[in-house]
Amino acid sequence: MAKPTEPTEIEHEHAIELLDARYEYRVWGKHRGARKTLSAIASREIVERVDDCYFLIDEPGVNAKVRGNALKVKRLVAERKGFECWVSNWHHEAETAPAPFDELFDELRLDRPARGKPFNLVKAVDRLDDEAPKAIFVTKERRRYRVGSVKAEVTDITIEQTAEVLRTLAIVGDDLDELVALRKRLGLRDAENVAVHVAIDTAAA
């Protein structure tokens, strides 16, 4: 029997497109030079502040968070040239969320606003039992940039439980060649790529 062949680069990229996945490279620390370069070359800059609650499980390839009353789940599907490739979806009902987050959606009662009922995420998290995923509240002070087709961000993340501030810079997109070139231009080629939920879990431990 012939051995199965590895997918070609074109086949691999096509599979990524079908999944509507995005490559991401995220580094931690100040990286002042990279931040300065990014601000100088970006065609667009947006400043925002958001509050998220991450739900951590013993699976680094899965990232889940709640913003407002919507649940976002990200899954790691590939790694190429140091970039992680993630598929993400927002969920507004339990039926569309993958396990174990379908049960978490119900336990948090995230559908209450859609039914015209009041909702408080902090109180909802307090009601969870000990077997539920670990909840970490964070506040993000973020600057979003656009460089060609690449989206970039510089974010200060405050972990509410400890008041620790994490600083991160990320570049995201679907054109791997463009991403690799920008990573080199920013001087980040040798910096470690660590996902948000992994860094938060480590800091909050």
pLDDT computed for residue 21 by the predictor = 92
Using alpha carbons only, give the angle 148, 149, 155 rounded to the nearest 5 degrees.
90
Instruction: Give the residues of the chain that fall short of pLDDT 50.
Output: 1-8, 10-12, 14-16, 18
Q: Which residues contact 160 (CB under 8 A, 6 or more apart)?
A: 136, 137, 138, 139
Check residue 188 and give its pLDDT. 98
Q: Does the residue 165 lie in any domain? A: yes
Model pTM? 0.88
Query: What is the spatial distance between Cα 205 and Cα 191, in angstroms, rounded to a whole number?
Result: 23
Distance CA 58, CA 67 (A): 21
Residue 2 resides in a domain: no
Q: pLDDT at position 13, please? A: 52
CATH number of 116's domain? 2.40.320.10
- Residue 75 covered by a domain: yes
Domain containing 200 equals 9-204
Question: Is 4 contained in some domain?
Answer: no
pLDDT at residue number 42:
97
Long-range contacts of 59-64 (CB under 8 A, 24+ apart): 60/195, 60/197, 60/198, 63/88, 63/195, 63/196, 63/197, 64/101, 64/104, 64/133, 64/197
Q: Residue 141: what pLDDT?
A: 98
Whether residue 91 is contained in a domain is answered as yes
Instruction: Tell whether 1 is covered by a domain.
Output: no
pLDDT 10s digits, 140-188: 999 999 999 999 999 999 999 999 999 999 999 999 999 999 999 999 9
Structural domain count, the chain: 1
